[in-house]
């Protein structure tokens, strides 16, 4: 195995290990956060070259199933912005924020923003475990290959809004959470109407946050 392949393999294994530890114990994220940030800073220049053509196919299928267009959307763990651009093109009236822990990923996303989306899409460096957004700030929050921090998701999604969580390689994705765990965690925080999607090699889950009682 070549050195570059070994490094990539170790990176994927570490991402899976981090996910498996942090999802049930989000307080441990502070231990892994600096390493994950460095890992994705290093990947930023080649990230798009690593993506398959259908990486967001399941994510897009879930977005297409939304019953109404959001006015405000967040793509969390946006990387170089592909998910944010996908949301913006799907919903041409929406204002979209892409957020990522990696400053270099965000720099790439800003550099790659198409001119026709520049007025509606912006990018911010942000930690998904402590988002710098108001309560109920978004009608849609999307995550593609991203560790979900469920308390923060519940906080920033508006009542009646939706979450889309996609994994480009299904269960083989380095950052992956099984749908049963997603539904359990989201359900305990007021989400319902779950729908599963599969397209290409990927899977995705759509969920709606219940309206206020």
According to CATH, what is the number of the domain 3-209? 3.40.50.150
Side-by-side strand order, sheet with 121-125: 121-125, 95-100, 72-76, 138-144, 157-167, 202-209, 191-199
Backbone angles phi, psi at 16, to 5 degrees: -65, -45
Per-residue pLDDT of the chain (213 residues; tens, 9 = 90+): 454 444 466 788 999 999 999 999 999 999 999 999 999 999 898 877 887 878 899 999 999 999 999 999 999 999 999 999 999 999 999 999 999 999 999 999 999 999 999 999 999 999 999 999 999 999 999 999 999 999 999 999 999 999 999 999 999 999 999 999 999 999 999 999 999 999 999 999 999 999 864
Q: Domain residues of the chain, as ranges?
A: 3-209
Instruction: Provide the CA 117 distance to its chain's centre, in angstroms.
Output: 19
Whole-model pTM: value is 0.93
């Amino acid at each position: 195995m070549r050195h570059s392949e070994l490094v990539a393999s170790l990176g994927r294994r570490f991402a899976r290990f981090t996910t498996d530890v942090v999802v049930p114990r989000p307080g441990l994220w502070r231990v892994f956060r600096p390493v994950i940030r460095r890992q994705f800073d290093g990947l930023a220049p080649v990230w798009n070259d690593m993506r398959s053509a259908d990486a967001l196919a399941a994510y897009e299928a879930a977005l297409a199933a939304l019953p109404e267009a959001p006015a405000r959307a967040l793509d969390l763990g946006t990387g170089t912005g592909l998910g944010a651009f996908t949301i913006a093109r799907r919903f041409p009236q929406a204002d979209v924020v892409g957020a990522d822990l990696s400053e270099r990923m965000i720099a790439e996303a800003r550099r790659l923003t198409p001119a026709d989306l520049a007025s509606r899409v912006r990018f911010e460096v942000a930690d998904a475990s402590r988002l710098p957004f108001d309560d109920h700030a978004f009608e849609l929050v999307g995550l593609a290959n991203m560790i979900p921090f469920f308390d923060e998701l519940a906080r920033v999604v508006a009542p009646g809004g939706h979450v889309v969580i996609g994994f480009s390689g299904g269960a083989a994705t380095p950052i992956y959470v099984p749908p049963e765990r997603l539904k359990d965690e989201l359900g305990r925080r007021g989400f319902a109407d779950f729908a599963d999607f599969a397209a290409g090699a990927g899977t995705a889950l759509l969920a709606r946050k219940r309206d206020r009682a």
